[in-house]
Amino acid sequence: LDRRFKNGFLVTTSYTLSRAENYADEADIATPADIERTYGPTGFNRTHAFASAFIWDLPFFKADNGALHWSLGGWQFSGIFTAYSGTPINFTASAATLGAPGNTQYPNVSGEPDILDGIGPGQKYFDTAAFSAPAQNTWGNLTRNGSISGPGFWNLDASLVKRLRFGQKVNVELRADAFNLTNTPHFNNPNGSFGSSTFGEINSSFGQRLIRFGLR
């Protein structure tokens, strides 16, 4: 859904429904003794991806020739809004009892774990009771990236720009750019290592707000 730049306004919109699969992202195959156990969604797979970009020439005091125009007129507001679903959680378990050195072990899971949406130390993002340790010398029934995904996120990057012209040769641009303008938390995937004391917990985030100013 796009609107070409007209009367000082432009917007572009896109939505992608996708599924990417492979045997490994940028590493060796995790289970060379049974290669098919690693085939599944990529670590970067996001089922839903929405993006919209806009540019708006603010109309306020645009035609004024006085101080209001120089201070408050001629600004342009633009930005990119994105919303993504989460990436797969790669659950693993101790391979000490697997009897297959050099191979990654996966835990057993009963059905699809309930999403609890817990964030922070001691809070579980999913129901950890759905997981159990495999019997000795057997594979777990999970495969690589074969269960639930982590949290999705949305983000707004925005810019405020003013252009000034002095005579025929000198142009000045003032701008402020804000990455993650709303400072909305973007959480990493929960710990998927079965047996860890923080199994199922989300204790880190990324993409905190960053603002920069420029003069050109």
Number of H helices, E strands in the chain: 1, 13
pLDDT at 185 over 90: yes
pLDDT at 65: 67
| pLDDT tens-digit readout, 18-44 | 999 999 998 899 999 999 999 999 999
Average confidence score pLDDT of the chain: 93
Contact status, residue 159 vs residue 78, Cβ threshold 8 Å: yes
- Kindly indicate the confidence band of residue 191, based on its pLDDT and cuts at 50, 70 and 90: very high
pLDDT at 158: 98
Contact status, residue 25 vs residue 46, Cβ threshold 8 Å: no
pLDDT at 112 over 70: yes
Please give the full DSSP string across 94-162, using - where no structure is assigned.
--TTT--TT--B--EE-SSPPB----STT--SB-GGGEEPPPTTS--S--TT-S-B---EEEEEEEEEE
pLDDT at 74: 80
Instruction: Tell me how crowded residue 206 is: count the other CB atoms within 10 A of its CB.
Output: 10
**Which tops the pLDDT comparison, 70 or 102?**
102
**Which tops the pLDDT comparison, 135 or 62?**
135
N- to C-terminal Cα distance for the chain?
Answer: 33
pLDDT at 59: 84
